[in-house]
Structure 1
Amino acid sequence: MNITIKKIVIFDDNNQSRFIGFNDGLNIITGDSKTGKSAIIEIIDYCLFSSRSSIPKGKITDFAELFVVIYKINDFYLVVGRPAQKTGNMNYAYLNVESDYNELENIDISYFENLSLRSIKNDIQTEFEQYIGLAISNMNLDNVVTKLDNKGKLSIRDTVSFLFQHQNLIANKHAIFYRFDDIIKRKRVIEAFPVLLGAVDENYYDLIRQEKEKLREIKTEKIIIDKLKLSKENELSFLRNSIQVYYSLIDKTLEDNLTLGELKRIGINLPFPSEVLNDRSKVYLEIDRFEKERNIKYIEKEEIEKALVNLYQTSDDGYDYAKELMKIHAHQKYNKTSSDLKCPICESTAITLKDDIAILESSKEKLVNELIKLGTFSQDNTPLISELKAEQKRIEKEILSLTKSINILAKEDEVFIEAKNEREQIIYQKGKIESLIKSFLDTNSSKGNSKDLVQLESDLKIIREELSKYNPDKFKKDSEDFLKENMDRICGKLDFEEELKPVDLYFNIEDFSFYHKHEGGKIRLDEMGSGANWLASHLSIFLSFLYLNLKNEKSVIPGFLVLDQPSQVYFPRSSKKSELTDEDEILKFDDNINQVKNIFKVLNEEIELIKKETGVEPQIIVLEHANDESFDKFIIKDWDKSKGQGLI
């Protein structure tokens, strides 16, 4: 997934606008302090549905009525328009998809007149996330959701920690990631990382929940088995006493010394009194009715299980469909010609055929454009799966209830009272004892032979086989190895203290801890003792994450990175050589500008490497106050405050 920023537009209430267009690759916005550079991060964050606005108050907020960011997503564009906080509509936004950028090149406020201003929560944001393929609605690994541990639905907000390095963060020795000061958000992003990177999906979390549920059921089943499994002597005694009760009613005597097998055969098929051989008691009829109803429930349960299998298959095929759709679009290009079509034999002009082809080309182009808009649109099946599972459990409970009714039917006093004569009473007792014996045999046999336990353990084995396809341990090792290799390589090209070399950086994706290994010990970031070291570490980490992100085709993390004033380590106050008078300061300035030039050189080299290795060109936006002609070709804006230039 390649998500980059195409344009930022700010509208006031008179349809005046300010805009910045961006390219793939390296984009530098430079200029004096207080020209609005740092606000660009906050505008992008705001149009990624931040719950609050952190856009600096002043000229920008006074001017703005509507903030707009146009995102390029593979071959189509998503337009997000969000009203300024002062409008009172910051909980609402506009969203539209376009396949042709020409429709957006000269966008003005009238573009939004035919769009609905809709709620962000559970509407606009959800639709945006579906377009980029982010559609996992439940990351909870248990069926019980609590307020303290409610991971819930993944969102685009879980990706922003990988996108922004603010000016107070880019060389910070105490923090690396945006929003990680909130311990809950930190934990959520770390746990979501494999999903965001496309290593696991919603089925993975459903399988984890199923595994936990099966383990609970197996534990419960084993406890029941221990409690209900009777010894052979107790089983024989129970059967003989129950049968003898019925035999005494029909004036028959049960033989002595019958084996357990013989008692079982008699118990499940007690003889009728000869004079009522063709009669059946009301209780017996009720048992038959319940058994038929239970069979119907078994059929309903089987249909639900088939539907669940189909839904899981649909979820697995979603990404492959989107990928093939893009391939189809890439091949649907016609070679148009303005020359007339002629018959190869008589060379007469085929005007009608040419018109038909033109109509076909126009229709197909419209179709392809509509298909492109679908992009990687992903619909989460989890709610429907959960609904079907709930229905499955409801039916299982009904089956259990019917079974219990069959087993205890004979205990209903009303039925016994309604028995009109001795014959009915005898047959009632037959049904009661036979049902009780059958229930006992079913329970004791199934629990004794552990048929339910065998099925549960078989189900657990299947679940674990499905889970093994994800291999999270391999994902962890491969990701950490990849990050280390690239962090070491990148940091080696930056201004990293000689005393700490050779570079030996480590990043643990289980807890997002980072350290440098030196002389047999671990050195944390805050122990490195130099702003240049902190900056080199931050840049190495984020450029490596950008590479890791784009090499994973199923990743939903946007492919852009915004860096705010990486040169501040070298130019904390002034970036203008003309303002300096001391010779030592001038020499230091020259050395510092060389370090800044090297930063941009490294950024561009990494962009080219990622594009070469993945086929996807990332986008890095740098907000700077340092300037030099050596990186002029990357500068898209250069604001001079003395000339009244700036974002607004």
Structure 2
Amino acid sequence: MQLLALILYNADGRTRRLDFHPGALNIVTGESETGKSALLTIVEFCLGRDANLVPVGPISDTVAWFAALWQLDSSGGRAFVARPRPAKGKLSTTAAMLEFGTNLEPPPLESLHTNIDSRQLRQQLGRRIGIEENLVEPGPGSLRYAFEANIGHAALLCLQSQSEVASQTVLFHRMGEDGIDQALRDTIPYFLGAVAPDQARKRAQLRDAKRSLARLEGEVERAEQSAQTIDVELGALFREAQSVGLVEDVQLTNRAELIRVLQGARTATPVEESLDSPADQDRYRALETSRDQLRSQLRLVMDDRALLLNEARATTEFGVALAKQQSRLTVLGLLPDQTQAAGDEDARESEAAAENSECPACGSHMDEPDPTAEALRRSLADLNVEVGNIAGARPGHRQALADLETRAESLREELRVAQAAVQDIERGRRVSEQTQADSRDFTRGRIDATLSRATLTDDVALEVLRQRLRQAQETVEALAAELDDDSNREELTSRLVVVGRDIRTYASQLQLEHSAEDVRLDLAKLTVVADTPTGPAPLSRIGSAKNWVGYHLATHLALHRFLTLQNRPVPGFLMLDQPTQAHYPSEKDNESGVPEDDADRIAVRAMFELMRNVALELAPEFQIIVCDHADLPEEWFNEAVRYRWRHGEKLIPPDWLES
């Protein structure tokens, strides 16, 4: 996508058209205050920016519509974009006109009309140059919203205003505005090709796959839990169905038989039986007996558990007391070390006798050994044995306690089932026949619900669920591997290294400082960094306006060279406003277009020669547009000049101002 023409429409129908050559260097040279800098603002406005920041004065007073004619491809495809001047008192508008066609030409003023808004304009132009559907997602924990990279983000790489091209802190267009710097960090990897074109689609697939995985995990967990308790539930339900007369009074334990009988109970005619029949009484007494036995067993288990807990608590307290006594005897330091082998009893006794002939407190000789030291030694040995026994018994206590907990939980579950059956019989005795009918309906509903879950507990159905879960896990893992952040960082680093090599080459041609060192584009800080022997030197620490302008020019040319050669979806043009401003210190230089100082002339010539050579290398896919004071005498420079605004000639024709 390159610029073919800019068109300004006067309210009375007159037009001012500026034509540019695609695939070449285009120069607009002239004096100050002729409208050169306004061209960049108009181009950005015609790329979909809402704000129109043309200077207040002749341009804003006389132009009713701003338009641009774009070449989309080499086969003749074009796009015509027109934007009306914002309403009086406003700085922005979203209204726009967009037309596509082959060999399209700008229509007259009376044919202009708005048919699109600025957001759709950016989206459709972006699609035409290859910006696919994408979604830039901020990192985890970020409060920023996800957004789609569009031609407005790409335009930030194609424009350099007068205040930016000579800045030591701002490398890209509008970088100093709120949020633009982060948008550049987020979108440049996509435009460089470090992010897969279908990454947005794959991220959406990954989100859906994770949701499916979570749902399947829940289903498998519920099915496995049901498989563990379904037999108890079916037994309880069977006894409940017996209590309301839906099944006969038989004994069943097989799951398949229970399911078959319960399926029949959903439509079976109730068994008519007196509430006071012997069979009902026997069943009730059997259930009560079973419940009481379960309660007794549970009580015994809980008593054993309480006994174990009390014993563990007492053992812990006793162990603490023993440890304190052991530390007291050991810390005194009055007795020898007790770590020697217990088997050498004679040597220990002789050594103890020799040592006990002296006072443990003052060290003086004693005629008779003091029996207290021997008693303390034996006490310490006994304490060591007891502490060891206590420590060894703890794992057994814990295992026994865990076994009792498991047994108690099983008894509680059986007791709940037995109690429910007893309560059902008691409830059946209290209710009327109508109430019994309602109970049967309720039981049938419970049978339906339980049998629907029972199908999930079937071994075959459970294995099918587990297989689906494994497939979902494999899908998530595969998508996560394709969207690996480490791989994306490596891809981005590789591309930035290639761009950095070209920056260094161009910087050497411009004879910039540190051009002999490795130079790289630091995307995290959005600046150029030269890796010197004394450490990294960012652009803000490299002196002189010549180096700032030079590194801006080298960086953007290197970046567009990579984008063009890799056929990335970025407009194929670079527009620079006043790149040689550092070499035109006087008004006389501005008027003539040729710096008086030899060093300035050499530097200006080198800058334009570099731009010309890059344009020739990348032709016909890349276009450079320069608005500048420079007006060099070289023939190749004059061939690149499209407009020369001097001696009263300006962007706005004089007759527009007169009328």
Q: Could you state the TM-score of these two structures normalised by the residue count of structure 1? A: 0.65
Greater alpha carbon shift after TM alignment, 194-203 vs 534-543: 194-203
State which of 237, 240, 244 in structure 2 corresponds to 1:245: 240
- Show the counterpart of 2:33: 34
Instruction: Give 1:186's match in structure 2, choosing from 157, 181, 189.
Output: 181
| 1:211 and 2:224 correspond | no
Taking a change above 3 Å as real, the CA distance of residues 58 and 141 of structure 1, as seen in their structure-2 partners, is: closer
Which runs of 5 or more residues in structure 2 are unaligned?
271-430, 654-659
**Does the 8 A contact of 2:137 with 2:145 survive in 1?**
yes
For 2:579, the equivalent position in structure 1 comes to 566
Kept in 2: contact 1:8–1:68 (CA 8 A): yes
Distance 1:273 1:18 in 2: 91
Query: Which amino acid is the alignment partner of residue 251 of structure 2?
Result: L
Q: Which residue of 1 aligns with 2:504?
A: 488
Q: C-alpha offsets along residues 472-511 of structure 1, whole Å, 9 cap, x if unaligned?
A: 34531331121112111111111312xx352311124466
Partner of 1:116: 113
Provide closer, same or farther for how the CA distance between residues 94 and 423 of structure 1 changes in structure 2, counting only shifts above 3 A: closer
- Partner SS state of residue 261, structure 2: coil
Deviation sequence 1:52-92 (CA, Å, 0-9, x none): 11111112222211111111110211111111235679432
Q: Which residue of 1 aligns with 2:561?
A: 547
The 8 Å contact of residues 575 and 627 in structure 1, kept in 2 or not, is answered as: no
Amino acid at match of 1:626: A
Q: Secondary structure at the match of 1:608?
A: helix
Equivalent-residue separation in structure 1 for 2:436 and 2:148 (angstroms): 66
- What corresponds to 1:632 in structure 2? 638
Stretch deviating more after TM superposition (82-91 or 59-68):
82-91
Show the counterpart of 1:62. 61
Q: Secondary structure at the match of 2:163?
A: coil
Question: What is the aligned-residue identity percentage?
Answer: 18
Shift of 1:606: 1.4
Instruction: Specify the code of the residue in structure 2 equivalent to 1:120.
Output: D
Deviation at 1:28, TM superposition (A): 0.9
- Report the CA distance shift for 1:131/1:233 in structure 2 as closer, same or farther (over 3 A): closer
Equivalences for 1:193-592 in 2 at 5 Å?
193-197=188-192, 200=195, 203-215=198-210, 218=213, 229-230=224-225, 234-247=229-242, 249=245, 250-255=247-252, 258=253, 262-263=254-255, 265-270=256-261, 429=443, 432-433=446-447, 435-440=449-454, 442=456, 450-451=466-467, 453-464=469-480, 467=483, 472-497=488-513, 500-509=514-523, 512-553=526-567, 555-574=568-587, 576=589, 589-592=597-600
Question: How far, CA to CA, are the matches of 2:542 and 2:439 in structure 1?
Answer: 92
Instruction: State the match for 1:623 in structure 2.
Output: 627
- CA–CA distance in structure 1, aligned partners of residues 147 and 581 of structure 2: 39
| Aligned 8 A contact 1:65 1:84 in 2 | yes
- Cross-structure match for 1:172: 167
- Secondary structure of the residue aligned to 1:168 is helix
- Helix, strand or coil: the match of 2:509? coil
Q: Which residue of 2 aligns with 1:402?
A: none
Residue 100 of structure 1 corresponds to which residue in structure 2? 103
Deviations 1:563-587 (A, max 9, x none): 111111221333639989xxxx98x
Task: Report what 2:94 is aligned to.
Answer: 91
TM-score (normalised: structure 2): 0.64
**Structure 1 residues 599 and 271, CA gap change in structure 2 (3 angstroms):** closer
Question: For the residues of structure 2 that align with 1:212 and 1:226, how far apart are their CA atoms?
Answer: 21
Is the 8 Å Cα contact of residues 13 and 64 (structure 1) preserved in structure 2?
Answer: yes
* Alpha-carbon offset, residue 129 of structure 1: 3.5
Correspondence 1:128 to 2:125: yes
Q: Distance in 1 between matches of 2:242 and 2:135?
A: 59
Please give the alpha-carbon distance, in whole angstroms, between the structure 1 residues aligned to 2:579 and 2:136: 36
Give the letter for the 2:473 counterpart: E
Q: Deviations over 1:288-343 (max 9, x none)?
A: xxxxxxxxxxxxxxxxxxxxxxxxxxxxxxxxxxxxxxxxxxxxxxxxxxxxxxxx
CA deviation map 1:240-276 (0-9, x unaligned): 3233333553223224xx4xxx32x224322677997
**Residue aligned with 1:523, SS:** strand
Q: Matches of 2:598 and 2:259 in 1, distance apart?
A: 100
For residue 510 of structure 2, give the secondary structure of its aligned residue in structure 1. coil
Partner of 1:604 in structure 2?
Answer: 612
- CA distance, structure 2, for counterparts of residue 143 and residue 474 of structure 1: 20
Contact 1:267 1:438 in 2 (8 A): no
Q: Is the 8 A contact 1:140 1:152 kept in 2?
A: yes
* Aligned equivalents of 2:7, 2:210: Cα separation in 1: 54
Deviation of 1:189 after TM superposition, in Å, equals 2.9
Q: Which residue of 1 aligns with 2:146?
A: 151
What one-letter code is carried by the residue in structure 2 that aligns with 1:629?
P
Partner AA of 1:253 in structure 2: V
* Alpha-carbon distance change, 568 to 19 in structure 1, aligned in 2, over 3 angstroms: same
- Deviation for aligned residue 1:624: 0.9
Q: Which amino acid aligns with 1:607?
A: A
**Who wins on radius of gyration, i.e. which is larger?**
2
Shift of 1:441: 5.3
**Cα separation, partners in 2 of 1:66 and 1:524, compared to 1, 3 Å:** same
8 Å CA contact 2:266–2:444 kept in 1: the answer is: no
Distance in 2, matches of 1:33 and 1:77, equals 33
- Say yes or no: does 1:593 pair with 2:584: no
Q: Which moved more, 1:196-205 or 1:479-488?
A: 196-205
Q: Is the 8 A contact 2:29 2:645 kept in 1?
A: yes
Q: Secondary structure at the match of 2:643?
A: strand
CA RMSD of aligned residues (A): 4.0
Flag the 1:62–1:277 CA change in 2: closer, same or farther, 3 A. Answer: closer
Change (3 A) 1:578 1:159: closer
In structure 1, what residue type is equivalent to 2:151?
I
Equivalents in 2 of 1:275, 1:217: separation in Å? 34
Which sits farther off after the overlay, 440-449 or 181-190?
A: 440-449
Q: Kindly state the Cα deviation for residue 513 of structure 1 after the two structures are TM-superposed.
A: 4.5
- Aligned mates of 1:609, 1:457 — CA distance in 2: 50
Q: What do the CA deviations read for 1:583-609 (whole angstroms, capped 9, x no partner)? A: xx98x6122111100111111111222
Q: Say whether the 8 Å CA contact 1:5–1:71 is kept in structure 2.
A: yes
For 2:573 and 2:633, locate their aligned partners in 1 and report how far apart those are by CA, in whole Å.
Answer: 24
Q: Deviations over 1:78-130 (max 9, x none)?
A: 111111235679432222223125xx2xx4634x52x5323424544444334
Structure 1 distance, partners of 2:84, 2:163, is: 27
SS at match of 1:516: strand
Q: Conserved in 2, the CA contact under 8 Å of 1:143 and 1:209?
A: no
Q: CA–CA distance in 1 between the matches of 2:70 and 2:262?
A: 81
Assess, with a 3 A threshold, how the Cα gap between structure 1 residues 13 and 275 changes in structure 2: closer, same or farther: closer
Separation in structure 1 between the aligned mates of residue 55 and residue 18 of structure 2, nearest angstrom: 18
* Cα distance in 2 between the residues matched to 1:275 and 1:30: 94
What is the rounded CA distance, in whole Å, between the counterparts of 1:243 and 1:628 in structure 2? 103
Are the counterparts in 1 of residues 138 and 144 from structure 2 also a CA contact under 8 Å?
no
The answer to whether the 8 Å contact 1:570/1:592 transfers is yes
Give the AA of the match of 1:162.
L
CA contact (8 A) 2:134 2:200 kept: no
